[in-house]
């Protein structure tokens, strides 16, 4: 084939498609958050980039690893499928890694017999998290895990959950929680299969690049331009 075919003709289009597919397969992919189970960190209709290279690289269209160089850590926001390639995407926070003992009672989380520290947010944190939820209905706390602080929500009037565990996280698996503790469907409710298998993990959430209060009625994965949350653009998440 001529050089011109690849630079000006159909070949350039084919190359662009192959490049886009390669980036999506190996490096980064965009996802939309469908629910508020990760508030205040992530909100419904947040569009995020997921770093797919952070833990390793897989064979195309497969959950099998070509090479792994790291594993999820406590506090990581991971994107995964629970039940194979056709199941919905989930995004949750890793609380327990393989070998950890996790216990939850009275809305307090214990990892290896140590309770996760909680404190009220300082004014800067309150401004960052506090205006996208009803403060009369929910309490906002900062939880600290592995020296990482992140926001969690609890209902002011809702019942506290029944004790969970203690459970020991198996090899190759992870115990995960949503940041909106009263709303999230996570390792507390998935009994008896409470854990996320490592092969099901797609990557780690890295950035909100678009966000809106409402999507277009006829194209629900596209934001309504009139409902954009401008303050959430290009926000790194942790």
pLDDT for 128 equals: 74
- pTM (2 d.p.): 0.84
pLDDT digits (tens, 9 = 90+) for 47-103: 998 988 889 887 776 677 788 888 999 999 999 988 765 668 899 999 999 999 999
At residue 204, the 3 state secondary structure works out as strand
Alpha-helix residue ranges (DSSP H) falling in 110-206: 123-129
pLDDT for 160 equals: 62
Per DSSP, what are the bridge partners of residue 143? 118, 150
pLDDT for 95 equals: 97
* Span 141-158, average pLDDT: 86
d(CA 72, CA 89): 17
Taking residue 161's Cβ as centre, other Cβ atoms within 10 Å add up to: 15
Taking residue 14's Cβ as centre, other Cβ atoms within 10 Å add up to: 12
CATH of 29-236, one of 2.60.120.650, 2.10.109.10, 3.40.47.10, 3.30.1490.390: 2.10.109.10
- DSSP string computed for 14-74: HHHHHHHHHHHHHTEEEEE--SSTTTTTS-TTEEEEEESSSSEEE-TTSS-EEEE-----T
> Residue 182: is its pLDDT beyond 80?
yes
> Residue 28: is its pLDDT beyond 70?
no
* Residues recognised as catalytic: 37, 92
């Amino acid at each position: 084939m001529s050089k011109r075919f690849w630079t000006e003709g159909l070949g350039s289009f084919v190359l662009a498609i192959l490049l886009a597919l390669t980036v999506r397969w190996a490096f980064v992919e965009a996802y939309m958050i469908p629910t508020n189970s990760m508030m205040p960190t992530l909100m419904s209709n947040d569009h995020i980039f997921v770093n797919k290279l952070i833990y390793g690289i897989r064979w195309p269209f497969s959950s099998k690893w070509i090479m792994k160089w790291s594993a999820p850590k406590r506090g990581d926001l991971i994107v995964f499928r629970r039940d194979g390639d056709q199941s919905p995407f989930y995004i949750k926070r890793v609380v327990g890694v393989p070998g950890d003992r996790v216990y939850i009672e009275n809305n307090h989380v214990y990892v290896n017999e140590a309770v996760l520290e909680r404190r009220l947010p300082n004014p800067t944190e309150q401004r960052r998290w506090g205006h996208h939820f009803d403060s009369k209905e929910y309490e906002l706390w900062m939880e600290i895990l592995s020296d990482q602080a992140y926001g969690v929500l609890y209902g002011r009037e809702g019942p506290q959950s029944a004790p969970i565990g203690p459970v020991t996280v198996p090899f190759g698996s992870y115990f995960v929680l949503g940041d909106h503790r009263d709303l999230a469907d996570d390792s507390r409710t998935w009994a008896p299969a409470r854990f996320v298998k490592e092969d099901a993990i797609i990557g780690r959430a890295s950035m909100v690049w678009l966000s809106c209060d409402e999507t277009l009625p006829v194209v629900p994965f596209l934001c309504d331009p009139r409902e954009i949350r401008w303050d959430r653009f290009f926000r790194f998440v942790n």
